[in-house]
Amino acid sequence: MTLRILGHDYTVEARDDLHAFGKASLNYSKIYLDPDLINGQKISTLLHEAIEMMNAQLELNMSHSAICGIETGMYQFLTGNGVDLSPLEK
């Protein structure tokens, strides 16, 4: 799967050696996800890593805790208002 973030394409790949739910690599234009994530975790992690990429590309210098908070809030806002994020799972 490929995601477009701020005009750049990022390949999403499963990796079981992350020691985290996900990881983003600006240098390699990749987002890595733990293959054992289930439904909501996968979408939530993709959203988190997308925010990480925006933070890096826009040089926002947000802390990791700020990114976690924004991801949680956006995930709840979108899913709580009926936005179907399931296409991000494919």
- 59-90 pLDDT, tens digit per residue, is 999 999 999 999 999 999 999 999 999 888 77
Domain ranges of the chain: 2-82
Contact between 77 and 69 under an 8 Å Cβ cutoff? The reply is no
pLDDT for the residue 88: 83
CA distance 31 to 88: 13
Kindly report, residue by residue over 31-49, the tens digit of the pLDDT. 999 999 987 899 999 999 9
Burial of 44 (0-12, 13-18, 19+ CB in 10 A): buried
Q: What is the pTM of this model?
A: 0.92
Say which amino acid occupies 81.
Answer: N
